[in-house]
Structures are given as structure tokens and as C-alpha cells.
Amino acid sequence: MRQTSKTGKPPPRYGADMLVRLLWDPLPASWPATARKRPAGLRGLIGWARATAASVPQGDDVERRVLRGAMQAIVRDAFQQTVAEQDSEHRGPDAFAEAWKARLAAFLAQETVDLSGWGVITVAELDVDLGWSLYAAASSARADAIARAVATPSQRRAADDDPTASYAFSIVTDEEGPLGRVRYATCEHCGVGLLRKISFSPEWHCCGFGTLALRELELRHPGLTWYTTGQYEHARGFYDRFRHRSNSPWIEKHPCPHF
């Protein structure tokens, strides 16, 4: 996975392989035509992207590639700006897609767009249809990743002193890498579970993965009383809401001396 984009901003960190290919990797010259032939589903979309990326002609016109890269940069910047609003806006997947679309439309309605790492881009020189095709494919890839997300089996980490045990599992989707990771511990002696950390990068916030992770904890270790350590302020509301609809008790104070 690429470490930085041309804009100097890092690409998404977890499980965003398809988004990276679409928003950061060089686009094949055949993009609009092959986009109409792309198969449905995330797995088919990944195979299609790999095949089309390998078909970039060696003699592709440099100026044309620059203009295509500029349009890709606009779509990417609209995505990143929408991601940056997640902690305050808390948009679900559909609302996120609409906000991203609206921001892209606002960019394309301007005469020029000034992007970090690119300078001033004249929109009239770009292929607007390419931008919308790219948005549609990337938005579809994100939606597919969310719909197909599942939790991997818990893996025992380095042994703790009895009676506690530490575990970790990931939230993944098909052939993609992990979308996020969960670390927790249990104390069977006290009947207590400790959620140590849930890690999802901002582009996967408000996608239901946190609820999926906590439900998995309850299913894998039924009968435990759960608690978590201090959370960032923006996450407290999520844990409070989950406690009220959970089938397992979640408490706020440290109930076990063994951790």
C-alpha cells in the first residue's frame, strides 16, 4: 500500500485496498470503457481493477495522464475532506456518499480548483465524466466493503498472568485487508471483560463496525460484565448508546483487580 499520495496526505490505513487503487494508483487509459464493463461485487471489482491497471499502454500520452491524474486528485480530495468531517458529522454510509458527491459537484462547478501538491487546476480542461465514473466506482467499493464486513476469529495474544487472557480480532471484508482491529481481555475468575482498544481509521467511522465488534465480544464471551478504559470524547456517546441496547452489562468503573 502506498505511504503517501501526490498531495502529501497518507492513503487510508486499514482495509482500503480498493479505494487506494481507485483514488491513489495511476488510472489505466481505458478507464471509462472498462468501467462500464466492470463486474458487480467487491471481489469482481478487485480483479477488474488489477487487470485494467496492468493494461496501461507504455506510450500513453503524458499530458493526458496528467489531466486524468488531476481529475483523480479532485475526486480524492473531495473524499478526504468528507472523511475529515466524520468526527463532527457522524454520517452513515449513505449520507457519507451523498456528502462526498455534493462536495465533488461543488468542485466541478468551479472554474478552477486549487489543490495542495497540484496548484491551480482548470476544470474545463478535465474529463468530468471520468470524475463521476471514478466517484461511482470508489463509492461502490466502499459500500461493498461495508456490506461484506465480518469479524475474524479471536486470536490469543501473549499470555497474561492467570486468571486473565488477552485477545485480538479484526473486522475484514473479502480479499481486502483489515478494516479495523479490536483488542480485549477477559478475567473468568471475576466474570469481567475489558475492551482495551477499537481501532478504525476515520474513513470507516459510522459504518456500524464498532457495534459489530462489541456484539462479537458479547457472543464470544457470554455472561461477562464488560467495561472499557477512558475513551476519547467523540467516542463516549457511542459507548453510552450501546450500553442501553446491549444484552450484556456494560459498566463504567474498574470492577476487576487482575487486569
The string of DSSP letters for 78-103 reads HHHHHHHTHHHH---HHHHHHHHHHH
Query: Regarding beta strands 225-228 and 192-200, do their DSSP bridges make them parallel or antiparallel, or are they unpaired?
Result: parallel
Query: pLDDT tens digit string along 133-172?
Result: 999 999 998 998 898 899 999 999 876 667 899 999 999 9
Whether 12 has a pLDDT exceeding 90, the answer reads no
Considering only residues 28 and 12, tell me which one the structure prediction assigns the higher pLDDT.
28
The whole-number pLDDT of residue 7 equals 41
41 lies in a domain?
A: yes
Considering only residues 251 and 101, tell me which one the structure prediction assigns the higher pLDDT.
101
This prediction's pTM: 0.78
Residue 178 — very low, low, confident or very high, per pLDDT cuts 50/70/90?
confident
Q: Which residue has the cell 473486522?
A: 171
Co-location of 61 and 126 in the same domain: yes
The whole-number pLDDT of residue 227 equals 84
For residues 115 and 7, the answer to whether their CB atoms sit within 8 Å is yes
The whole-number pLDDT of residue 198 equals 87
Nearest-angstrom CA–CA distance, 47 and 41: 10
Cβ of 57: how many Cβ atoms within 10 Å?
9
Query: pLDDT tens digit string along 83-119?
Result: 999 988 989 999 999 999 999 999 999 999 999 889 9
If one counts the domains in the chain, the total is 2
Query: pLDDT tens digit string along 189-245?
Result: 899 999 888 888 888 999 999 889 989 998 999 988 888 875 555 566 666 667 666
The whole-number pLDDT of residue 221 equals 92
The whole-number pLDDT of residue 91 equals 95
Co-location of 204 and 124 in the same domain: no
| CATH number of the domain where residue 243 is located | 3.40.630.30
Nearest-angstrom CA–CA distance, 175 and 171: 12
Domain boundary among 96, 118, 147: 147
Domain boundary among 147, 176, 201: 147
Co-location of 52 and 158 in the same domain: no
For residues 198 and 231, the answer to whether their CB atoms sit within 8 Å is no
Query: pLDDT tens digit string along 31-75?
Result: 655 554 454 555 555 555 555 555 555 445 788 888 999 999 999
Whether 250 has a pLDDT exceeding 80, the answer reads no
Domain boundary among 77, 112, 147: 147
The whole-number pLDDT of residue 60 equals 54
Q: Which domain holds residue 202?
A: 150-251
